Chains A and B, each alone.
Chain A
Amino acid sequence: MIKMNYSRVIQKTMAITMAMALSLISLTGCGSNEPVQSGTEGSNNTETTTNSETSDSKAAESTAQVSASGESKVVVGLAHDPQNIGPFQGMSAGRIGILYTVYEFLVTTEGGEMKGVLMKDYEKIDDLTYTCEIYDYITDQLGNPVTAEDVVFSYNTAMQSGNLPKLGSIDSVKVISDYVIEFKFNNLSIGDLGALWMECPIVTQAAYEASPDEMATDPISTTAYKCTEYVSGSKIVFTNTGNYWQTDASKINNTSKSNVDVIEFDIITDSAQLTNALKTSAIDVTNWLSDIDVADFQGMEGFEVAPIPDNTTYFLLFNCDGDQGAFADNEKFRQALAYAVDSQQLVDGALIGSGNVAKTWGNTNYSDYVSTWNNEDYYNYDLEKAKQLLAESGTAKTTLNLMITSTDLNTKLATIIQAQLALIGITVNISTYDSQLFNEYKYQPDQWDIMLDQGASTSYLVNVWKLNWDSSGYVHGGSENFVKDDKLQELLTAAMDVDNHNDTTMDAFHQYLKEQCYGIGLVQSMSNIAHTARISKIIVDARGQVTPGACEYTF
């Protein structure tokens, strides 16, 4: 039995705990104050350019439509953290949401066309050599003037970082005069020129070298918006400097506009919370709601839904590896599965009707999509034909491993496909992996039989094809699903050629791929962007991301 001096124990415990706590807290520098969201009440728009009524938002804690100092503000919800917002980083899901607010490039794309931003003009010297002239009055947010030297510096630093491997197509970048740069390329396929001029953010050498962390948290660029606050993992705030270098309004493209004073990006990784944030008007807009959540906002007072065509297509790939692929040299097997999959049911079940059946290895939203494909049979659902082809194929393998990444949508698509294939006697086992494992296993032919994947490009459909079917991109020398077919490669190269890129070459590749059925396009999704009525018009960039500076507002 213990008789104890209770208070003594408590004293000692408290003392030690205090000591630990104090040392921990002092280490974390718990002295800085996070700015609290200012709390002006509700929304009270007086005029709108839309038909919907605006009403008082339900939340008393709202992001103010004006920030503390009386400026106009918009809050964008991001489902992924941009993390390092320095110029020479790879394109992550978080980064695409803030890209054009942070940086400018030589050119931008609008409606599929290349438009100059920093670039005033360009000239073709020969097939692989171009010169480009930039405006002579560009300054960055600190006032440093931007010259050809800075462009060359940006490109060279980017290429050395190894994070922007597309720039490997560039052989050299040289200063010709104060505002003229010469680009020499190793090769140029269709769409490459614009893509390469839009790949590398331009920053001044002076600002970059002065930054203690290579602009990871404090970028200095030529846009109208300077980063004024960066709370790691929580929010990034940009404020209009008021002295954007391009004073000629006619030359300002969508990705460079500045219609609002303050842009705040809030990082909200939980999808249910993203919806709640929009419902309480804590954010004004977000790209990342699922279709079922977006449906909630249809017809809700104070909110609107903007339908935005999406560039993404979902595909099914058959493992055609010579040794371990179940589908190598067995066209009938592949086609049997293609006929057994009912893409319309995928649209209804997984996309809640908000999407379309794919008619090629890609999406109708590209300028080089050939419209005759819409009227063709693209393995339209035919159960009897599927069964027949399966019998004819003579395959013994009736249990297949379907590999997917672990998103809700992929899980739904896979589950429906699993049920559909069961109808022709194929047992499908679904393997779900996170993106790290998926990216590792997809290159290993012993890990999967069929794979669900998706793809998009900022320029042309052929560049979507390039990603999956161009063997030069794969260490094992085949396509993404280990296909080694010279004719396929030939047709693809022909369609990618700058001078030969036309309906004929596009159609030739499409027909061959369809015949061989190495893989099929399944569905294309529709991106519906829900937003508060404070935004009257949503403008998106080439990747389908909201461009806050370019949107039109009701205040």
Chain B
Amino acid sequence: MGRYIIKRLLWMIPVVLGIAVLIFTIMYICPGDPAASILGIGATQVEIAAKRSELGLDQPYIVQLLKYLKQVFIDFDLGTSYFYGTPVIDGIFSRMKYTLIITFTCMGLQILIGTPLGIIAATHRNGIADRLCMLVALIGVSVPGFWLALMLVVLFSVNLGWLPAYGVGGIQYFIMPCIANCLAGIATQARQTRSSMLEVIRSDYITTARAKGMSERDILFKHALPNALIPIITIVGNGMGMMLGGAVVIENVFSIPGIGSYMTGAINSRDYPIVMGGVLVLGLLFSLIMLLVDIIYAFVDPRIKARYEGKRKGAKRHG
């Protein structure tokens, strides 16, 4: 297992390199550039062309690519934002804390509420609890995030005045954003858990366990749930990775200066340093999370662990 982890960590180097080259290339072929926006309102084409030249944006692809790769991998400098004038790395870290608050809270809610909901639905299949849970889940995934967010604001801010409509600060600023953001995740979690559990519950070994007289509770936690965990973990890991990119819509609606709005703002204005630096950092984090997910797979399911360790097929058939 240790060897597997080290191998994966080593693989991250080409991955990060690959991300750097890919994101640079994509930004290069994307039409539109920051020169016009940097100069602002009322700049003429001649002036914009001059600015573009000054930024080095009219040099050939290879020259720009090599310059960037050197800057990132040899000087360890992610550059300075064209529009903020502050170093990209500072921007990412200062924004990350808000995104992390929302991400961890929502992930926590997703696991703590979604999983039990799914389990209840699966164990009471076709009963009232099942129907109700699934209805709630369906609504949760069909309701657009911004709609829910705006409805919450209208109710709790404009009409009741209990919570602030936007901004950051104490805990009251994060209540509505987290609720609006986690609903889809809870719904997906519930449905995925239910689906996996249903699969497992109908398995032979569950029937066997019942025949042996195990209590339902034991069956649930010792046999059913562990076997159902794999897809659940995938969802959680993937969701975590995506949330790191920031819940863009929620951040926009609630004016939370997180990573999501930082990145989308940068993409819209073609703030190349932020886009490239941000994608690199987030890509790296995402790879780490995926590694974590793969490691957890191994702990949950020894069969997978065996695969990682490269046991040959049939080796365990001896004897």
Q: Is there any pair of Cβ atoms, one from A and one from B, under 8 angstroms apart in the complex?
A: yes
A-to-B contact residues, CB < 8 Å: 1-4, 6, 8-9, 12-13, 16-17, 20-21, 24-25, 27-30, 34-37, 58-61, 81, 83-84, 86, 89-93, 95-96, 162-163, 165, 168, 213-214, 216-217, 231-235, 266-270, 272-273, 276-277, 279-280, 282, 434-437, 439-441, 443, 457, 467, 470, 472-476
Query: Quick check: is B17 within 8 A (CB to CB) of the other chain?
Result: no
Q: Which 4 A-B pairs have the closest CB atoms?
A: A436-B32, A233-B257, A473-B44, A216-B85
Residues in chain A near residue B41, CB distance under 8 A: 91-93, 96
Those of B128-176 within 8 Å (CB) of chain A? 146, 150, 153-154, 157-159, 161-170, 172
Q: Tell me the nearest residue of chain A to B83, going by C-beta.
A: A83
* A-B contacts besides A276-B157, A277-B166, 20 pairs, CB < 8 Å: A2-B226, A20-B289, A21-B104, A25-B100, A29-B93, A29-B94, A59-B165, A60-B162, A61-B161, A84-B81, A90-B38, A92-B41, A216-B86, A232-B86, A233-B265, A266-B255, A270-B146, A276-B165, A467-B44, A475-B49
A–B complex contacts, Cβ < 8 Å, 30 sampled: A1-B203, A1-B223, A4-B222, A6-B221, A16-B296, A21-B100, A25-B100, A59-B158, A59-B165, A60-B162, A83-B81, A84-B84, A89-B85, A90-B38, A91-B40, A93-B41, A165-B43, A165-B50, A231-B257, A233-B257, A233-B261, A233-B265, A235-B167, A270-B255, A276-B154, A280-B165, A434-B268, A435-B268, A436-B32, A473-B45
Residues in chain B near residue A27, CB distance under 8 A: 93, 96
A16 and B292 contact, Cβ closer than 8 Å, known pairs A273-B253, A467-B44, A473-B44: yes
Q: Is the interface of A mostly helix, strand, loop or mixed?
A: loop
Chain B nearest Cβ from A94, distance in angstroms: 9
Inter-chain contact A441/B226, CB cutoff 8 Å: no
Residues in chain A near residue B51, CB distance under 8 A: 162-163, 165
Inter-chain contact B36/A60, CB cutoff 8 Å: no
Query: Quick check: is B270 within 8 A (CB to CB) of the other chain?
Result: yes
Inter-chain contact A232/B94, CB cutoff 8 Å: yes
A-B contact count, CB below 8 Å?
A: 232
Residues in chain B near residue A2, CB distance under 8 A: 223, 226-227, 300-303
Q: Is the interface of B mostly helix, strand, loop or mixed?
A: helix
Give the distance in Å from the alpha carbon of A1 to the alpha carbon of B96 in the complex: 41
Query: Quick check: is B234 within 8 A (CB to CB) of the other chain?
Result: no
Give the distance in Å from the alpha carbon of A25 to the alpha carbon of B146 in the complex: 27
Q: Tell me the nearest residue of chain A to B262, going by C-beta.
A: A233
Inter-chain contact A439/B32, CB cutoff 8 Å: yes
Chain A nearest Cβ from B148, distance in angstroms: 13
Inter-chain contact A232/B226, CB cutoff 8 Å: no
Give the distance in Å from the alpha carbon of A281 to the alpha carbon of B161 in the complex: 10
B-to-A contact residues, CB < 8 Å: 31-34, 36-51, 54, 81, 83-86, 91, 93-97, 100, 104, 146, 150, 153-154, 157-159, 161-170, 172, 203, 205, 221-223, 225-227, 252-257, 261-262, 265, 268-270, 285, 288-289, 292, 295-296, 299-303
A36 and B165 contact, Cβ closer than 8 Å, known pairs A95-B40, A436-B269: no
Inter-chain contact B227/A280, CB cutoff 8 Å: no
Chain A nearest Cβ from B35, distance in angstroms: 9
Inter-chain contact A4/B300, CB cutoff 8 Å: yes
Give the distance in Å from the alpha carbon of A37 to the alpha carbon of B161 in the complex: 14
Inter-chain contact B255/A20, CB cutoff 8 Å: no
